[in-house]
Structure 1
Amino acid sequence: MPETVPTTSFDLDTYLKRIGWEGERRADLATLRGVHTAHALTVPFENLDPVRGVVPSLDPADLTVKLVHGRRGGYCYEHNTLFAGVLEALGFRVTLLAARVVVGTDRFESRPRTHMALLVEVPGEQRPHLADVGFGAVGALLEPVPLVVGTEFHDAGRRHRLVHAPHDGPLEMWVLEAYGTTGTGRADGWEAQYAFTVEPFEQPDFEVINWHIATHPRSPFSRRPYVQRLTPGRHLFLDGRHLTETRADGAVTTRELTNEREARRLLDEEFGIDVPDGVRLLG
């Protein structure tokens, strides 16, 4: 499997301090799982730069300033570009993947490949693992899962599995499914999150996708805030004015924010985000 992410020098000590990781620094499965979960539970998901008309930089130095040194988060290209660099610094081999987000549709081909995920080779493990610290949904992975069909995984309390979907291409189509209440109004059960093949993508591919998603007038990420924060016991998700809290037991509550001051306080206190200049959270 080719290595597609260039090794980048950055302050690994500061990154690991940011996510609270005090375990081993070696290329093994325990480290991959631990660092993945720590990142997912620490660095928030947010799209405040596109909302204010700024295309997020994917340069590793800029990502370090924003996501590591600052009280900010990012969306999938930022999270997973940074995380790929972290994994390579720890000795893993990483391939960038482009996925179709298919939540809410049965026609996978109707969705473009706009999500970045990672395929990670773990020394001593027979199969590569799907890793993803940048999926802004309640169905996101908390731990990486091996590329195996049909096996149910319990990753830090969530339930996921990978299945194959029929399609006309030469490569197998993999689908990540999550079990449970997903916030779409459907009953508990398995629901597809995103679909992908293992064709390697390169960082310039995501520069183009990132620009499109950040600037296209029909992109949801350019029009209103999407902010997510995970803790071991709950998932907070702000979609425009609507705040949804999903508890570990599956209980879901929603409410509507009423004013800008309330929204800014929420992002500061609950999401750990400093709102940048030029952002109007509630339109």
Structure 2
Amino acid sequence: MTSNDATAQDTAPRWDPAAYLARIGWTGERRPDASALRSLHRAHMYGIPFENLEPLGGAAPSLALPDLEAKLVRGGRGGYCYEHNTLLAAALEAFGFGVTRLAARVVLGADGAVRPRTHMLLLVDVPGEPGPYLADVGFGAGGALLEPVPLVADTEFRDAPRRHRLVHRPHRGPLELWVLQAYEDDAWADQYAFTLEPYEAPDFEVINWHIATNPRSPFSHLLYVQRTTPEAHLALSGRHLVETRPDGSRKERELSGHDEIARVLTADFGIAVPEGLELDART
């Protein structure tokens, strides 16, 4: 080993994949195949909640692996897309998968407006499979993928109880535009659009800072928390709490303020709320 190799090893981010697997309750065989990819993805979705407490408090969360481990794995916290998918990408690469980071424009709720590419997702190469899979454990919405889907257009995939498909859309550019759709309320609804242009870690450092600190970003002034379990999907936006069951039935209620929000985050979302964070100040 050369001195440069030793220095690179000393400065490389370190984390504990075994602690991550314990956090999400995954006990399968560590091998790069489609079955492991699907089960790992679903376990992560069930195991770690989506939340934006750092941006709500005025800070951009760190995307360094040791910091993600301290927060999402050992700290009883969740995170948003850059945190979740950076952590999943590291685990998949440790298993032997090839992973390409991508960026998408969120279409859901845009009402025709063109948003910047701010959502992080993953393209995963699986040895022996005819094509890559789309993986994404960081989309904070009820139409998020529970399991990765093959990158194939116009084919419905059932990651029960959810249904997804990918379609192509015309656009100006040299690369094909893909759109992820989820079947919601008896219709296909666009979730986000993306091309296969690779993005790198420094790209997401910039995007992460922008989304966390820009006063026009909803993540910097409104509480967004999601948790998916086999029994229900919980979504908290500001004070508005929605519980959606696999059969589509919903319960909604308004929380009274900081104290009740903190109790719900701890009891229902499994989040250790940082001391001193005013949860109701900007809702």
Match of 1:17 among 3, 11, 22: 22
The residue identity in structure 2 corresponding to 1:145 is V
The residue identity in structure 2 corresponding to 1:21 is W
> Taking every aligned residue pair, what percent have the same amino acid on both sides?
64
Please report how far the alpha carbon of residue 10 of structure 1 lies from its aligned counterpart in structure 2 after TM superposition.
Answer: 2.0
Q: Does 1:153 align with 2:151?
A: no
Q: Provide the C-alpha distance between the structure 1 equivalents of 2:13 and 2:98, rounded to a whole number of angstroms.
A: 13
SS at structure 2 position matched to 1:233? coil
Counterpart residue number, 2:142: 138
Match of 1:268 among 262, 266, 275: 266
Q: What TM-score results when the alignment is normalised by the length of structure 1? A: 0.93
CA contact (8 A) 1:52 1:278 kept: no
Match of 2:73 among 45, 68, 84: 68
Please report how far the alpha carbon of residue 252 of structure 1 lies from its aligned counterpart in structure 2 after TM superposition.
Answer: 1.7
Counterpart residue number, 2:255: 257
Q: Provide the C-alpha distance between the structure 1 equivalents of 2:276 and 2:238, rounded to a whole number of angstroms.
A: 16
Alignment of 1:1-283 (within 5 A): 9-105=14-110, 107=112, 110-181=114-185, 188-283=186-281
1:181-220 deviation per Cα after TM superposition (whole angstroms, max 9, x unaligned): 3xxxxxx310000000000000000000000000000100
Counterpart residue number, 2:9: none
SS at structure 1 position matched to 2:225? strand
The residue identity in structure 2 corresponding to 1:133 is V
Q: What TM-score results when the alignment is normalised by the length of structure 2? A: 0.93
Please report how far the alpha carbon of residue 106 of structure 1 lies from its aligned counterpart in structure 2 after TM superposition.
Answer: 5.8
CA contact (8 A) 2:71 2:77 kept: yes
Larger Rg, first or second structure (1 or 2): 2
SS at structure 2 position matched to 1:99? strand
What is the total number of aligned residue pairs between the two structures? 270
Q: Provide the C-alpha distance between the structure 1 equivalents of 2:54 and 2:275, rounded to a whole number of angstroms.
A: 10
CA contact (8 A) 1:66 1:73 kept: yes
SS at structure 2 position matched to 1:204? helix
Q: Provide the C-alpha distance between the structure 1 equivalents of 2:29 and 2:162, rounded to a whole number of angstroms.
A: 24
Gaps of 5+ in 1: 1-6, 182-187
Q: Provide the C-alpha distance between the structure 2 equivalents of 1:245 and 1:54, rounded to a whole number of angstroms.
A: 29
SS at structure 1 position matched to 2:47? coil
Q: Provide the C-alpha distance between the structure 2 equivalents of 1:42 and 1:131, rounded to a whole number of angstroms.
A: 16
